Structure 1
Amino acid sequence: MTAPFRFPRFFVTSPSPCPYLPGKQERKVFTELSGQHAGELNDALGRIGFRRSQSVAYRPSCPSCTACQSVRVVAAEFEPNHSQRRLLKRNADLEISACRPWATDEQYDLLRRYLETRHPGGGMAQMDEHDYADMVEHSPVRSYVIEYREPSSGGRPGELIGACITDQQADGLSMIYSYFAADRPGRNGLGTFIILDHIRRAAAASLPYVYLGYWVKGSARMEYKTRYQPMEILGPNGWHPMPQAEAVTKDPRILLDA
């Protein structure tokens, strides 16, 4: 009996400053996703904490720190709280489409505005149109760009105000990168709405999980991920429910948006 795909070769990056915890160094282990079994390999690696970026699967491998932990929402058991229900109702008129992974000028313009508003000077600040196209289109797995638009009018599509690059894996949806009109009047909480919509989509498709990437204990930027319960966290002995003590958002500013 032969394996469904060749055992991958793994590589390790050189240490660099951690973007989440001051004074820490980060290092990643990664492998290439290619060939006809790239999707199966990505599914298998996703279950042990890897994330995809274009045609590469990676995960943290920091020798002196284990703060980055993979988290996923249990879609079928999720019940929105009061504020999340209000957010879903307020944005129920948005028109949502699962589009093939093809970059557009409209998406890139929205990304630029998002980065300028939310992450000025961040690692993606210098991304140009070609970089964005690579991020969207260089996917060897089943990927989509989920678009969120204002209601159409006069037969013309509404303005694009949110998007998420999303992989469909065998056991769930993996949110690779989302961006949105962070300062849109009357549309506060778009980032939260995009996550809630993915949870609904996964549950409707009988997909068990929504993968949210890494939660970094001690990083205020990552606390918003604990608001979607029940949530599982990947530890040394596999996936297990996130302890309630960790699921409490302590910084009230985090409640404003995702």
Structure 2
Amino acid sequence: MNTQTTPSPQFYLTAPAICPYLSGEMERKVFTHLVGPRAAEMNDLLTQGGFRRSQNIAYRPACEACRACVSVRILAGDFQPAKSMRRVLATNSDIIATLGPAQPSTEQFSLFRRYLDSRHQRGGMSDMSALDYAIMVEDSHVNTRVIEYRRREPGDGIAGTPRGELLAVALTDMMSDGLSMVYSFFNPDLEKRSLGTFMILDHINRTKTLGLPHVYLGYWVKGSPKMGYKTRYQPQEHLTARGWELADPARDV
């Protein structure tokens, strides 16, 4: 009889660092490596437990004096877009989205750099090179895909790969209970298109089509304006000490 057991993941704690979301706070994270044949299974379990993935690392906040970071997942089957969201869908009806393997391209990196230089000049990713970007996309032991959003050109959808201008990109994990939006970026000059909103709506529709329940959005941080958009997609659940609970939109502002 084989009595050998599968090794359990080893967890580590980072040193304190300045919180990028709340002024005056310090952050710490607990993390583990997602490698080996059980990486996809472990990614599912950890994401459902409030972790996020970055390359082959799964992490979650472990701050000593703050609990502002809350894991959020949209209940895709019950979601109905608000009037403003329906306008976003109509505005972007000329976009064609293509799901493909997790492979980087020069075109993607060019758009990624435009996005960072416009929106996140002082962020932790601001100095990423083409090699760094390639690693971010490819360094995954789980079921990861890239979704490209392009302006529709004559002939697109009939045959071949869409040829229109690349407007947005999403790096997405395909999980057993839904989709997890790992990272997304878009053309910052097309503000009227609300491409960030459009990509989330597209992920909700894809999750519905797959017959799966959840779209994982990562962390909502109460008090951080840059994270406020995540509570717009209702109904949604927040991970609490009691487990996943239906969020109250009136409270979470």
Query: Could you state the TM-score of these two structures normalised by the residue count of structure 2?
Result: 0.94
Contact in 1 for aligned 2:168/2:195 (Cα 8 Å): yes
What is the alpha-carbon distance in structure 1 between the residues aligned to residue 186 and residue 196 of structure 2?
Answer: 7
Write out aligned runs for 1:79-98 (5 A): 79-98=80-99
Contact in 1 for aligned 2:231/2:249 (Cα 8 Å): no
Establish whether residue 120 from structure 1 lines up as the match of residue 125 from structure 2: no
Q: Following superposition, which runs of at least 4 residues in structure 1 exceed 2 angstroms of deviation?
A: 1-6, 152-156
1:203 corresponds to which of 188, 200, 208: 208
What is the alpha-carbon distance in structure 2 between the residues aligned to residue 89 and residue 3 of structure 1?
Answer: 56
- After superposition, give the CA deviation of every residue in 1:88-139 in whole Å (9 maximum; x if it has no partner): 1111221100110011000000000011111122211100000000000001
Q: Which runs of 5+ in 2 are unaligned?
A: 157-161
Establish whether residue 180 from structure 1 lines up as the match of residue 186 from structure 2: yes
Establish whether residue 45 from structure 1 lines up as the match of residue 46 from structure 2: yes
Cα offset for 1:154? 6.5
- After superposition, give the CA deviation of every residue in 1:18-58 in whole Å (9 maximum; x if it has no partner): 00001100000000111111000010111110011111100
What is the alpha-carbon distance in structure 1 between the residues aligned to residue 111 and residue 94 of structure 2?
Answer: 20
Q: Which runs of 5+ in 1 are unaligned?
A: 249-258
- Aligned position for 1:108: 109
Contact in 2 for aligned 1:5/1:37 (Cα 8 Å): no
What is the alpha-carbon distance in structure 2 between the residues aligned to residue 23 and residue 197 of structure 1?
Answer: 36
Establish whether residue 157 from structure 1 lines up as the match of residue 163 from structure 2: yes
What is the alpha-carbon distance in structure 1 between the residues aligned to residue 145 and residue 251 of structure 2?
Answer: 31
What is the alpha-carbon distance in structure 1 between the residues aligned to residue 251 and residue 234 of structure 2?
Answer: 11
Q: Which amino acid aligns with 1:172?
A: G
Contact in 1 for aligned 2:222/2:252 (Cα 8 Å): no
- Flag the 1:2–1:244 CA change in 2: closer, same or farther, 3 A: farther
Cα offset for 1:188? 2.2
Contact in 2 for aligned 1:142/1:167 (Cα 8 Å): yes
Contact in 1 for aligned 2:91/2:193 (Cα 8 Å): no
- Flag the 1:3–1:196 CA change in 2: closer, same or farther, 3 A: farther
Worse-matched range after superposition: 116-125 or 68-77: 116-125
- Aligned position for 1:213: 218
Worse-matched range after superposition: 68-77 or 120-129: 120-129
Q: How many residue pairs were aligned?
A: 247
- Flag the 1:4–1:163 CA change in 2: closer, same or farther, 3 A: farther
CA RMSD of aligned residues (A): 1.7
**Identity rate, percent:** 51
Contact in 2 for aligned 1:32/1:55 (Cα 8 Å): yes
Query: Could you state the TM-score of these two structures normalised by the residue count of structure 1?
Result: 0.92
What is the alpha-carbon distance in structure 1 between the residues aligned to residue 116 and residue 69 of structure 2?
Answer: 23
